[in-house]
Amino acid sequence: MININKYVLSLLVENRSGVLSKISGLFSRRGYNIHSLTVGITEDPNISRMTIVTLGDEQLLEQITKQLNKLIDVIKVMELNTEKCVSRELALIKISKPPSTQSLITESVGIFRGNIVGLDSTSMIIELTGDEEKITAFIDFIKPYGIKEIIRTGLTAIER
Amino acid sequence: MKVAEAIIKCLQEEKVSTIFGYPGATVVPIYEELRKSNINHVLVRHEQAAGHSASGFGRVSKTVGVCIGTSGPGATNLITSIATAYMDSIPLVVITGQVNSHLIGKDVFQEADITGATESFTKHSYLVKDEKNILNIIKEAFYIAKTGRPGPVLIDIPVDIQLKDIEYSYPKEVNIRSYKPTVNGHKGQIKKALEKIKQSKRPLICIGGGIVSGTAENQLKEFVEKFKIPLVHTLMGKDGININKPYYVGLIGSHGFSYANKAVSESDLLILIGTRIADRATAGSKYFAKDAEIIHIDIDPAEIGKTLGTNIPVVGDCKQVLEELLKHAEALKTDNWIEHIENFKKEIHKPYELKDKVNPKYVLNMLSQMLENDTIMTADVGQNQIWCARNFCINEKRRFLTSGGLGTMGYSLPSAIGAKIAAPNKTIVAVMGDGSFQMSLFELGTIVQNNIKIIILLFNNSGLGMVREIQKNTYGKYHGVELNCNPDFVKIAEAYGLKGKRIHKNEDFEEAFKESLKCETTFLVECIVDSKESTL
């Protein structure tokens, strides 16, 4: 691959057991990359929405889209234009909480519009939502203060 | 009625006349209903053969082949034949029994996650959890198997579900919102294709298995003759065209003819119809058709642009697309190009030599003349497959069945059984080597039990010829390819109550084969072949 780009695919799939396995199986056996994958129910309980972020080039994306469309459980495949969609990710970050830096951390959480959802004598859990860049920026900022654990959901997105 | 009875009624609605299977505990309810029905059940000797026989039956009768196996090892034994059908786009409905639905996932006796295991080899699969869905599932399964790009569909039915009661009413329609295969080619794309064709100086058609599964042989013949475009084909496309000089060039690819490959390299427009043009056809070369523009007509959009970049993709059923193209047929000025191909065909083509053991190339050329014009030949995998592909001529209504995509040894004999049941009045010749015969000879039992008459043409070179040749060419030595304790195959045929003859010389072939044609039972013609006989 010469130009490696990030693509966001939004899929509508039948809400049946085994569908996630079929899609992730397709990606793994054909060597396609899954950067992140989120899935959840839509307004129709029989249909789920899956958002997959994949890395590749245009030719690979075309193959991925066509192979996904072949799956009987996949209803629709859309490539989201990252500029024309609203994308969000949730991160839960546990950091160690030395007393000297607590107020600095609390202030920065406010600046990033996050929430402190857990607090005890040794650690603090911060919840943050935003696009991928914002989450990454916060993590980079907070790293020197001691990150114990990060859980990120991966991106989900909706077209404007 | 019970679900088991409903299943049989559904199969009858789908006009299934024959099922190939091997029963076990979890399909006993279905077998009880099968016993009461008029559907012909063929008991095989290994579930893998059930899948291959269903494949041969389906390919010849142009219907969806059906096979059935029990849970656990019965289902896993079907995997190879399901994968074989998947790679060659053969429509199959595979029914497997499953353990009680409340025991699934508890590792009980003969339990296997067959829907999970066959995920990569099925067009779609169903695990029936609610008995109310069974009728829709069967209707959908047949629809999915035979439409669009055909393929195998698996239905896994827990044994307790088979005993539940439902209201029977076979659905009239099927509507799958996520599956709408394209049949008619886009008119704009077809127009573009026509323009390119009319401008080309050295056009070449390349066909594959899609012509055969799309039953487009007549349209193709007309297309070739009206536009005057020469034609090459892949292994799976061999019986898509009758040899019709001067347009027929030959088989391309790593085991094809060099003159056919040369025609591809010199063409300026390659028209691919019903082929996925995979690595065997391109010989894995990045220079394949490098000077040509490419029109790719195929029912599966995912195949277009997968191996070769395409200038004009046309997604659609090849029969429909060819009919559209034929509406604007125009004879091209290809006489010089065709003459050029004929000339280098004569220069490059080297004939075979006749030495002391039987030469399979000689045998197959003889058969091209001896056999009727509607003979069906099945070939296995390895040297025997390539000898058939290169030396047996397809005329009129002859068929050639083999495992092209997966290359599964042991395909020839069971698929010949399926073919004979589908076409009882035709001559069926099953070609194989001593390696592949030993992977399927248990099916002689099926042959005897069902009074099936075929001719088995066994090329015995005491080894795995193709692999041996690769080893010799790469390393100068071979290892693990010698079958030097082969039994007396003719005696094995006779042990089953069949007949056979072993020949050591070319001149004895004709008489032995004539004897096999006259014989009322299946006849084994065993040819002793030199282990050094080359593939090409």
Q: Which pair of tokens denotes residue B341?
A: 């191909």
Which residues are CB-neighbours of A43 under 8 A, at least 6 positions away?
A: none
Q: Residues B83, B89, B92, CA angle at the centre, nearest 5°?
A: 70
Please give the pLDDT value at position A82.
82
Please give the pLDDT value at position B162.
97
pLDDT band at B448 (very low <50, low <70, confident <90, very high): very high
Please give the pLDDT value at position A103.
86
pLDDT band at A2 (very low <50, low <70, confident <90, very high): low
Please give the pLDDT value at position A67.
96
Task: Let me know: does B491 contact B424? Beta carbons within 8 Å.
Answer: no
Please give the pLDDT value at position B395.
84
Between CA A25 and CA B204 the distance in angstroms is 38
The CB density around residue B374, as the number of other CB atoms within 10 Å, is: 14
Q: Which residues pair with B433 in a beta bridge?
A: B459
> In this model, does residue B245 exceed pLDDT 90?
no
High-pLDDT (> 90) share of chain B, %: 92
SS3 B371: coil
pTM: 0.94
Task: Let me know: does B42 contact B21? Beta carbons within 8 Å.
Answer: yes
Please give the pLDDT value at position B309.
87
Which residues are CB-neighbours of B196 under 8 A, at least 6 positions away?
A: B269, B293, B295, B311, B312
Between CA B522 and CA B32 the distance in angstroms is 31
The rounded mean pLDDT for chain B is 95
- Tell me whether A31 touches chain B (CB under 8 Å): no
Helices (H) and strands (E) in chain B, counts: 22, 18
Between CA B62 and CA B212 the distance in angstroms is 9
Residue with tokens 């290809």: B334
Q: Cβ of A63 and B302 within 8 Å?
A: yes
Between CA A81 and CA A61 the distance in angstroms is 13
Q: Cβ of A21 and B301 within 8 Å?
A: no
pLDDT band at B356 (very low <50, low <70, confident <90, very high): confident
Task: Let me know: does B308 contact B286? Beta carbons within 8 Å.
Answer: no
Q: Please give the backbone phi and psi of residue B221, each rounded to the nearest 5 degrees, phi first.
A: -60, -45
Question: Which candidate in B144, B179, B276 is best for mutational testing of the A interface (most A CBs within 10 A)?
Answer: B179
Q: What are the pLDDT digits (tens) for B496-520?
A: 999 999 999 999 999 999 999 999 9
Between CA B175 and CA A94 the distance in angstroms is 49
SS3 B336: helix
Q: Cβ of A72 and B127 within 8 Å?
A: no
Shortest alpha-carbon distance between residue B120 and chain A (Å): 7
Please give the pLDDT value at position B287.
85
Please give the pLDDT value at position A17.
86
- Tell me whether A28 touches chain B (CB under 8 Å): no
Q: What are the pLDDT digits (tens) for B15-24?
A: 999 999 999 9
Between CA B206 and CA B250 the distance in angstroms is 10
Between CA B361 and CA A142 the distance in angstroms is 75
Task: Write the burial class of residue A104 (CB in 10 Å: 0-12 exposed, 13-18 middle, 19+ buried).
Answer: exposed
Cis peptide before B360 (omega within 30 of 0): no
Question: Which candidate in A14, A61, A66, A67 is best for mutational testing of the B interface (most B CBs within 10 A)?
Answer: A66
- Residues listed for chain A: 160
Q: In what order do the strands lie in the sheet with B523-528?
A: B399-401, B376-379, B428-433, B455-460, B523-528, B499-503
- Tell me whether B301 touches chain A (CB under 8 Å): yes
Between CA B502 and CA B516 the distance in angstroms is 12
Cite the DSSP H helix spans in B243-373: 258-266, 279-282, 318-326, 335-348, 360-370
SS3 B199: helix
Residue type, B44: V
The CB density around residue A140, as the number of other CB atoms within 10 Å, is: 9
Task: Let me know: does B54 contact B65? Beta carbons within 8 Å.
Answer: yes
Task: Let me know: does B206 contact B271? Beta carbons within 8 Å.
Answer: yes
Between CA B18 and CA B69 the distance in angstroms is 14
Q: Please give the backbone phi and psi of residue B511, each rounded to the nearest 5 degrees, phi first.
A: -65, -45
Q: Cβ of B305 and A59 within 8 Å?
A: yes
Q: What are the pLDDT digits (tens) for A105-139?
A: 889 999 999 999 998 888 999 999 999 899 999 99
Q: State the virtual CA torsion across B17, B19, B20, B21 in degrees, nearest 10.
A: -160
Task: Let me know: does B527 contact B363? Beta carbons within 8 Å.
Answer: yes
Q: Average pLDDT in the A37-52 region? A: 94
Which residues are CB-neighbours of B460 under 8 A, at least 6 positions away?
A: B433, B434, B486, B489, B526, B527, B528, B529
Shortest alpha-carbon distance between residue A20 and chain B (Å): 12
- The partner residue sitting opposite A67, judged by closest CB among B115, B119, B302, is B302
Q: Report the relative pairing of strands B455-460 and B523-528 from DSSP bridges.
A: parallel
pLDDT band at B229 (very low <50, low <70, confident <90, very high): very high
E-state strands within A17-146: 36-41, 47-56, 74-80, 85-96, 115-119, 123-130
ipTM of the complex: 0.89
**Contacts with A69 from chain B: Cβ below 8 Å:** 301-302
Q: State the virtual CA torsion across A26, B98, B150, B65 in degrees, nearest 10.
A: 160
Please give the pLDDT value at position A83.
85
- The partner residue sitting opposite A25, judged by closest CB among B120, B179, B305, is B120
Q: What are the pLDDT digits (tens) for A80-114?
A: 998 888 999 999 999 987 777 788 888 999 999 99
Task: Let me know: does A23 contact A50? Beta carbons within 8 Å.
Answer: yes
Q: Average pLDDT in the B258-278 region? A: 95
Q: How far is CA B31 from CA A129, B37, B98, B136, B443, in A?
A: 58, 10, 14, 21, 21
Q: Please give the backbone phi and psi of residue B340, each rounded to the nearest 5 degrees, phi first.
A: -60, -45
> In this model, does residue B285 exceed pLDDT 90?
no
Q: What are the pLDDT digits (tens) for A57-79?
A: 999 999 999 999 999 999 999 99
E-state strands within B88-217: 92-98, 124-127, 152-158, 203-207
Between CA B531 and CA A60 the distance in angstroms is 44
Q: What are the pLDDT digits (tens) for B357-386?
A: 999 999 999 999 999 999 999 999 999 999
Q: In what order do the strands lie in the sheet with A36-41?
A: A36-41, A47-56, A5-14, A74-80
> In this model, does residue B349 exceed pLDDT 70?
no
- Tell me whether A62 touches chain B (CB under 8 Å): yes
Please give the pLDDT value at position B93.
98
Q: Cβ of B302 and A75 within 8 Å?
A: no
> In this model, does residue A1 exceed pLDDT 80?
no
- Tell me whether A18 touches chain B (CB under 8 Å): yes
